[in-house]
């Protein structure tokens, strides 16, 4: 019976391509309005059987659409103003959330209406044959990840009470209006027939993966009590069953995948300090409950509401967190007034985690306990870790016989700045809790193989892959019969080099696929069989990499003997998608991409994959391609939005550089340019280490979070030069300048239409540091932008990455800043590479952006740079976007930065009038006006 249903009108387009060429556009360059209106494709969704696919098309500001594709019938439907889509397990139904129009929401904001007065979202149901009906208003949707039939949602509208047909109307006995709970009404939706059933006013919700059962808490507003009650809702009979009504609060509500087990924490004393949580575990069997556990202690250990809890998909395990110590007080001291309580943070040299890390990760610290596996067949706990500092790496999709754990040995020794981190690894037997040490003080990330037969890692010191064989606890190097280089040959940071990586394991851990620079090798983890070169069809002019496309695929080839490889030409960067048969190591088919792969994905099985390919000029449209790569079809035409726009082309060019250590390296750069320009044109030089691999990256027009968009700047009459940069140790500033200078010199030779007297610089973060350094060493550039720059390495060295709470020392000794030693071992290297100490040399006008909540580079670095230039009477402007991080996230600020950066360059490189904000500034009392 349809208890709750609202009418809703929605316009639908059947079997239509996404085509926006009819929209009016300004000619030539991308204006701010063009960027705002450009519709981007995102949020691809695929059903488990690949039958249904969906994607979203949305402008930066405005109304989105979602297109749904049925691969069986090859029909499509486009849902106007759709924001999210959810497809059920069988691919027979989808739900979509329809938003109010952008203008309606904007009008509500302008009218200062409270959020509860804004227009509401609407939930609609779509069958695989594209029959549509409206479910009603929605606030939140609970869509179980393996559901075929049921979903749940809340709405702001309370249900109409059912009138009692036995009562008589009487003016003398007015009906008492029920007290309105603050919780929102919760409904169950039956996907097959669209029926909705009112469940209750849920405060907390947990649903089984199949959606058949729902665990929820609810208060009774009529009693005025703060107590909650816990219920189990059964969708098959539309009935709720009371489980418990003794607690004031419930946390960690859990249902196993099929609803066979229920778990929760509860606290019955609202005044207790600290709260003592009771864990309840029930089994649902033959329509009755059996209590497995209900107590405040398990083996003398406590519970709290922060730990990690999860059932395994097999319903044989529950992973939970226990705490050896009685909880500490949580409530403030009421015997003292606020002005009597000291407020401070205590830093000590023995802290396992820096205090700044602790402050940034308080919830993680509260959750840190003893990771425990509770065996639901034997009803006993197995302790995976011994201390809260030890980490357990477990999966819930498969019941592995061993669990890998790790403890950071560097943090044990107080080395909070170390990179790579130094770990000691263990494996734990899930049947008896037996612990075996795998490796001690290992500066590598180890991984348990899918079948739990090996622990594998790349040893960055001796540059070999290592395996720990669990059955006999033997450690040995693998693939030693192949003479190749497993580590990254371009690694230029003063720390041990990482590996090129691995693709994964084949079935039952029989082989592990490893990468060198060009090829894929199949190695025997036992070391008995010869290592096999799988990609003998390729050569050293290419690289080949494995492409995982199916969800929940643990082993290579688990879903099909044909797997997918991506072959890249290392000169042209053109890519080819290959279907590779792992039974005979032969190529089954190939699909030449245009020009590079943007995304390839499937469901868990099925005949179709979703493919997006891209190049600088080609938007990554939505395509479907058959699993044998024989048939492809394009479904969108977003690239039509470029009609009439100047976009130029991208070119790759080689150049050589002599670094400060006298080594000569061969690099490549990119130039984005409209070669039909008759007049000399200015150029912006953008950099961030190596970018030449992005030759075919598509830069759709977007507002800037921090850096420039090449396509937008080409449309405005600029060339954009992007060089590769590499470094030797201790001279990052000088080596960066040498690489950029060589690239710019080569670009000017090859493209004489670029005006050498009108060059600008642009860099963000590490690139921002490079900008700040470059302008202290050369007057070649007429304008420069530095986003989040480090100005002073001597002060930045002791700083904190506030977003994570980590020390910045790593950055300089072993990381990106590449000094290679501590500040006290070579103070002159820090001074030599710090822009601050060379600011008297600056002649280039500089625009700085450094935001006041930057979590990566403390924004006082930008202040040091600005104040130094101001003190020296150099032309400098600084944008500090309030409540913004390292890169902008708020659209209003992204729009503002895009406009101001363009105006800045237009003035200094094109001679356009200086904008008012640069000429007069914006006084504090005029901020926001």
SS (H, E, C) 720-745: EEEECCCCCCCCHHHHHHHHHHHHHH
* Closest of 130, 121, 124 to residue 13, by C-alpha: 130
For residue 199, count other CB atoms closer than 10 A to its CB.
22
Mapping DSSP onto H, E and C, the string for 459-508 reads ECCCCEEEEEECCCCEEEEECCCCCCCCECCCCCCCCCCCECCEEEEEHH
* Closest of 230, 276, 234, 228 to residue 253, by C-alpha: 230
Residue 263 in tokens: 């778990």
- Which pLDDT score is estimated for 176? 60
For the cut 90, the answer to whether the pLDDT of residue 418 exceeds it is: no
* DSSP track, 135-185: EEEESEEE--TT-SSEEEEE-SSPPPPPP-TTS---TTSPPPPPPPPSSPE
Q: What's CA 97's distance to the chain center, in Å?
A: 23
Handedness of CA 221, 224, 230, 232 (dihedral sign): negative
Kindly report, residue by residue over 465-523, the tens digit of the pLDDT. 999 999 999 999 999 999 999 999 999 999 999 999 999 999 999 999 999 999 999 99
Residue labelled with tokens 């808490």? 217
For the cut 50, the answer to whether the pLDDT of residue 560 exceeds it is: yes
Kindly report, residue by residue over 287-329, the tens digit of the pLDDT. 889 999 999 999 999 999 999 999 999 999 999 999 999 888 8
List Cβ neighbours of 510 (8 Å cut-off, separation of 6 or more). 524
- Which pLDDT score is estimated for 843? 98
Order of strands across the sheet that contains 542-547: 542-547, 562-569, 575-581, 586-592
pLDDT category, 21, cuts 50, 70, 90? very low
pLDDT category, 159, cuts 50, 70, 90? low
Range 823-829 average pLDDT: 98
Q: Tell me how far apart the alpha carbons of residues 650 and 572 are, in angstroms, rounded to a whole number.
A: 12
Enumerate the β-bridge partners of residue 655: 667
Residue labelled with tokens 């209590």? 291
Kindly report, residue by residue over 668-725, the tens digit of the pLDDT. 999 999 998 789 999 999 999 999 999 999 999 999 999 999 999 999 999 999 999 9
Contact present, 57 and 67 (Cβ < 8 Å): yes
Q: What's CA 326's distance to the chain center, in Å?
A: 36
Kindly report, residue by residue over 867-900, the tens digit of the pLDDT. 999 999 999 999 999 999 999 999 999 999 999 9
Q: Tell me how far apart the alpha carbons of residues 597 and 612 are, in angstroms, rounded to a whole number.
A: 6
List Cβ neighbours of 350 (8 Å cut-off, separation of 6 or more). 414
Order of strands across the sheet that contains 520-523: 502-505, 512-515, 520-523, 532-533
- Give me Rg for the CA atoms of the chain: 31
Handedness of CA 831, 837, 841, 842 (dihedral sign): positive
Kindly report, residue by residue over 526-539, the tens digit of the pLDDT. 988 999 999 999 99
| Letter string b/e over residues 71-84, b meaning 16 or more CB atoms within 10 A of that residue's CB | beeeebbbbebbbb
Mapping DSSP onto H, E and C, the string for 551-569 reads CCCCCECCCCCEEEEEEEE
Contact present, 66 and 85 (Cβ < 8 Å): yes
Contact present, 832 and 385 (Cβ < 8 Å): no
DSSP 914: P
Q: Tell me how far apart the alpha carbons of residues 843 and 599 are, in angstroms, rounded to a whole number.
A: 45
pLDDT > 70 in the chain, percent: 94
Phi/psi at 632 (5° precision): -135, 150
Question: In Å, how far are 9, 130, 182 from 138, measured between CA atoms?
Answer: 15, 21, 16
Kindly report, residue by residue over 747-772, the tens digit of the pLDDT. 999 999 999 999 999 999 999 999 99
- Which pLDDT score is estimated for 12? 38
Kindly report, residue by residue over 225-260, the tens digit of the pLDDT. 788 999 999 999 999 999 999 999 999 999 999 999
Q: Is the pTM of the predicted complex or chain greater than 0.75?
A: yes
User: What torsion do the CA atoms of 300, 305, 308, 313 make, to the nearest 10 degrees?
Assistant: 90
pLDDT > 90 in the chain, percent: 87
Question: In Å, how far are 406, 669, 700 from 375, measured between CA atoms?
Answer: 22, 57, 51
* Closest of 267, 190, 269, 251 to residue 215, by C-alpha: 251
Mapping DSSP onto H, E and C, the string for 693-725 reads HHCCCCCCCCCCCCCCCHHHHHHCCCEEEEECC
For the cut 50, the answer to whether the pLDDT of residue 3 exceeds it is: no
Q: Tell me how far apart the alpha carbons of residues 376 and 315 are, in angstroms, rounded to a whole number.
A: 8
User: What torsion do the CA atoms of 867, 869, 873, 877 make, to the nearest 10 degrees?
Assistant: -80
For residue 805, count other CB atoms closer than 10 A to its CB.
18
* Closest of 282, 319, 283, 326 to residue 304, by C-alpha: 326
Order of strands across the sheet that contains 623-626: 596-601, 608-614, 623-626, 632-634
For the cut 50, the answer to whether the pLDDT of residue 6 exceeds it is: no
- Which pLDDT score is estimated for 331? 84
For the cut 60, the answer to whether the pLDDT of residue 175 exceeds it is: no
Please give the mean pLDDT across all residues of the chain.
93
């Amino acid at each position: 019976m349809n208890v709750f249903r609202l009418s809703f009108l929605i316009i639908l387009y059947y079997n239509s391509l996404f085509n926006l060429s009819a929209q009016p556009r300004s000619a030539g360059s991308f204006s701010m309005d063009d960027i705002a209106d450009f519709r981007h494709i995102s949020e691809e969704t695929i059903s488990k059987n690949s039958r249904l696919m969906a994607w979203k098309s949305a402008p930066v500001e405005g109304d989105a659409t979602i297109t749904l594709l049925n691969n069986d019938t090859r029909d499509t439907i486009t849902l106007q103003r759709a924001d999210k889509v959810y497809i059920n397990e069988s691919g027979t139904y989808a739900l979509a959330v329809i938003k109010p129009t952008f203008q309606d929401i904007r009008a509500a904001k302008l009218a200062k209406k409270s959020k509860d007065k804004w227009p509401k979202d609407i939930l609609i149901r779509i069958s695989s044959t594209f029959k549509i009906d409206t479910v009603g208003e929605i606030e939140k949707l609970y869509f179980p990840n393996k559901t075929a039939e049921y979903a749940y949602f809340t709405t702001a509208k309370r249900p109409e009470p059912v009138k009692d047909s036995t009562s008589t109307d009487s003016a003398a006995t007015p009906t008492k209006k029920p007290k309105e709970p603050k919780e929102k009404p919760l409904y169950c939706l039956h996907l097959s027939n669209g029926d909705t059933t009112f469940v209750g006013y849920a405060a907390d919700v947990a649903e089984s993966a199949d959606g058949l059962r729902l665990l929820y808490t609810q208060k009774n507003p009529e009693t005025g009590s703060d107590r909650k009650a816990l219920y189990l809702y059964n969708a098959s009979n539309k009935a709720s069953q009371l489980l418990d009504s003794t607690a004031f609060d419930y946390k960690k509500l859990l249902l196993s995948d099929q609803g066979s087990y229920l778990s929760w924490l509860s606290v019955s004393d609202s005044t207790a300090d600290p709260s003592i949580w009771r864990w309840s575990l029930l089994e649902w069997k033959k329509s009755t409950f059996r209590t497995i556990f209900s107590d405040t202690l398990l083996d003398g250990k406590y519970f709290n509401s922060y730990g990690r809890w999860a059932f395994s998909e097999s319903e044989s395990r529950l992973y939970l967190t226990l705490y050896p110590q009685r909880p500490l007080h949580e409530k403030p001291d009421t015997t003292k007034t606020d002005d009597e309580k000291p407020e401070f943070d205590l830093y000590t040299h023995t802290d396992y985690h820096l205090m700044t890390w602790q402050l940034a990760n308080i919830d993680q610290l509260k959750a840190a306990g003893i990771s425990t596996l509770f065996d639901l067949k034997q009803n006993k706990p197995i302790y995976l870790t011994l201390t809260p500092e030890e980490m357990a790496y477990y999966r819930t999709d498969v019941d592995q016989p061993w669990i890998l754990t790790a403890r950071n040995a560097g943090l044990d020794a107080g080395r909070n700045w170390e990179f790579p981190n130094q770990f000691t690894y263990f494996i734990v037997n899930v049947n008896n809790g037996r612990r075996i040490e795998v490796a001690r003080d290992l500066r590598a990330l180890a991984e348990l193989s899918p079948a739990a037969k090996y622990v594998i890692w790349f040893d960055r010191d001796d540059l070999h892959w290592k395996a720990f064989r669990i059955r006999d606890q033997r450690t040995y190097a693998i693939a030693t019969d192949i003479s190749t280089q497993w580590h990254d040959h371009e690694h230029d940071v003063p720390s041990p080099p990482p590996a090129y990586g691995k693709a994964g394991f084949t079935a039952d851990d029989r082989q592990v696929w490893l990468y060198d620079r060009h090829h894929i090798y199949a190695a025997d983890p036992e070391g008995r069989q010869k290592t096999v070169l799988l990609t003998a069809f390729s050569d050293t002019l290419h690289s080949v990499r494995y492409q995982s496309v199916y969800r929940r695929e643990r082993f290579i080839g688990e879903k099909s003997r044909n797997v997918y490889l991506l072959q890249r030409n290392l000169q042209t960067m053109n890519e080819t998608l290959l279907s590779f048969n792992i039974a005979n190591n032969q190529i089954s088919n190939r699909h030449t991409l245009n020009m590079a792969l943007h995304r390839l994905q499937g469901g868990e099985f099925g005949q179709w994959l979703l493919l997006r390919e891209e190049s600088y000029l080609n938007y990554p449209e939505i395509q479907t391609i058959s699993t044998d790569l024989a048939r492809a079809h394009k479904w969108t035409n977003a690239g039509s939005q470029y009609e009439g726009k100047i976009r130029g082309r991208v070119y790759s060019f080689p150049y050589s550089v002599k670094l400060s250590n006298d080594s000569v390296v061969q690099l490549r750069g990119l130039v984005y340019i409209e070669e039909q320009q008759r007049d000399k044109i200015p150029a912006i030089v953008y950099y961030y280490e190596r970018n030449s691999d992005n030759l075919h990256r598509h830069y759709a027009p977007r507002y800037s979070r921090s850096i420039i968009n090449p396509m937008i700047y080409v449309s405005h009459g600029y060339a954009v030069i992007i060089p590769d940069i590499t470094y030797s140790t201790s001279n990052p500033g000088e080596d960066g300048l040498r690489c950029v200078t060589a690239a710019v010199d080569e670009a000017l030779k090859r493209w004489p239409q670029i005006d050498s007297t009108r060059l600008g610089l642009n860099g963000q973060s590490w690139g921002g540091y490079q900008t700040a350094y470059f302008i202290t060493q050369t007057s070649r550039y007429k304008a420069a932008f530095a986003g989040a720059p480090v100005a002073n390495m001597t002060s930045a060295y002791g700083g904190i990455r506030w977003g994570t709470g980590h020390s910045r020392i790593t950055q300089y000794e072993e990381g990106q800043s590449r000094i290679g030693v501590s500040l006290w071992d070579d103070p002159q290297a820090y001074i030599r590479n710090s822009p601050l100490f060379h600011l008297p040399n600056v002649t280039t006008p500089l625009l700085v952006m450094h935001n006041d909540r930057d979590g990566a580079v403390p924004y006082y670095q930008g202040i040091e740079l600005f104040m130094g230039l101001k003190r020296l009477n150099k032309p400098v402007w600084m944008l500090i976007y309030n409540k913004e991080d390292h890169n902008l996230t708020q659209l209003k600020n992204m729009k503002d930065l895009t406009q101001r950066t363009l105006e800045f360059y237009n003035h200094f490189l094109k001679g356009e009038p200086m904008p008012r904000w640069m000429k007069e500034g914006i006084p504090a009392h005029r901020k926001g006006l």
